[in-house]
């Protein structure tokens, strides 16, 4: 079986420092940002929940018991970590207003808003997430914090999938390989996790290879570009003199593959690089093709917005920023600090 190493290179060359990450749930605060207004009427009851010590599926199960609605009918935009204080939305079809659950205990949640809406909340439909992260056992000067903030704000950072995508010790990758080999049976939810882990791993490997070759943030002939804040992609035209400037301004981003069936849109040296990664991990790449997933593209870079890095007394640092849907806070943090879980 292939070596599914999760070790990945950093890109910005910053002076990284040791820190303690997520010493307690309050050190990682995440707020889901819908990016659209709710109508106030309709079949679906949308419930905003603030949770502590529970993952998203724990809340789904509790809401299902409270509303007597099937778990699979409850909508949510994305999975939030258990070891965090997280605020996110859920939609419940046909539900009446819910009574408030008890709060204040470890592994609890409270309902902060209930609003009716005409549609179900779908995966990935939110604009993004806001983060307030406290790092401990770290002393950072104002000058260093300013240098980190300037680099991240102007250059962005690698849009790696975070380690939580791969399960403990990368176990989801081994299960994906066993699934593709016909050695493992999986329920629908589990199968989805294993397929997602395989795709994420191949993407990360392509991004890592481009970082090591020092062209992860440069337009190559054969690249496919993504528009900032949009799902639209387009092939880079050879000799287009405007592309480097648009890339530097953050208007566009180089993309990497979300592997699957169909013809890739990249060409030339980019196609050779991506095909080489797929050949090295062919049990994953071919398994994704057989599973029927279509080729897609994902930006290699993410630009943190509203970024603020603040030394907070002795041995503590507070980092605030927002990321679009699908991007990982750990990918921002690992450019600055060395800590378990990044």
Beta-strand runs (E) in 55-136: 75-76, 85-93, 108-117, 128-136
Q: CA dihedral defined by 114, 116, 119, 121, rounded to 10 degrees? A: 0
Q: Distance (Å, rounded) from C-alpha 17 to C-alpha 141?
A: 11
Q: Distance (Å, rounded) from C-alpha 71 to C-alpha 69?
A: 6
Burial class (CB in 10 A: 0-12, 13-18, 19+), 187: exposed
Residue 36's closest CA among 119, 124, 130, 127? Answer: 127
Per annotation, catalytic residue among 81, 137, 174, 221: 81
H/E run at residue 323? strand 316-324
Residue with tokens 């090591």, as numbered in its chain:
212
81 noted as active-site residue: yes
By the 8 A CB rule, do 51 and 59 touch? yes
Catalytic residues: 81
């Amino acid at each position: 079986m292939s070596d599914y190493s999760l070790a990945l290179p950093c890109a910005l060359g910053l002076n990284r420092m040791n820190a303690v990450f997520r010493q307690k749930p309050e050190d990682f605060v995440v707020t889901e940002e819908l990016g659209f207004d709710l109508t106030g009427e309709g079949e679906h009851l949308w419930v905003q929940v603030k949770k502590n010590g529970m993952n998203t599926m724990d809340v789904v199960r509790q809401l299902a018991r409270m509303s007597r609605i099937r778990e699979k009918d409850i909508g949510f935009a994305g999975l939030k970590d258990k070891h965090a204080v997280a605020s996110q939305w859920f939609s419940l079809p046909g539900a009446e207003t819910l009574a408030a659950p008890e709060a204040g205990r470890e592994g609890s949640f409270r309902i902060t808003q209930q609003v009716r809406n005409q549609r179900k909340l779908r995966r990935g439909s939110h604009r993004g997430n806001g983060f307030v992260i406290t790092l401990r056992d770290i002393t950072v000067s104002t000058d260093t914090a300013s240098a980190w903030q300037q680099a991240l704000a102007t250059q962005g950072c690698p849009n790696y999938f975070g380690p939580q995508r791969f399960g403990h010790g990368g176990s989801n990758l081994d299960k994906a390989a066993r699934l593709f080999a016909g050695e493992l049976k999986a329920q629908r939810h589990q199968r989805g996790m294993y397929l997602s882990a395989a795709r994420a791993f191949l993407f990360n490997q392509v991004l890592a290879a481009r970082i090591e070759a020092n062209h992860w943030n440069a337009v190559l002939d054969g690249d496919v570009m993504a528009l900032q804040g949009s799902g639209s992609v387009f092939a880079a035209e050879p000799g287009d003199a405007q592309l480097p400037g648009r890339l530097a301004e953050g208007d566009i981003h180089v993309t990497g593959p979300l592997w699957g069936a169909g013809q890739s849109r990249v060409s030339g040296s980019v196609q050779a690089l991506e095909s080489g990664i797929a050949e090295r991990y062919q049990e994953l790449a071919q398994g994704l093709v057989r599973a029927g997933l279509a080729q897609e593209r994902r930006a290699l870079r993410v630009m943190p917005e509203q970024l603020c890095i603040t030394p907070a007394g002795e041995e503590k640092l507070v980092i605030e920023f927002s990321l679009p849907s699908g991007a990982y806070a750990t990918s921002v943090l690992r450019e600055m600090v060395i800590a378990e879980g990044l």
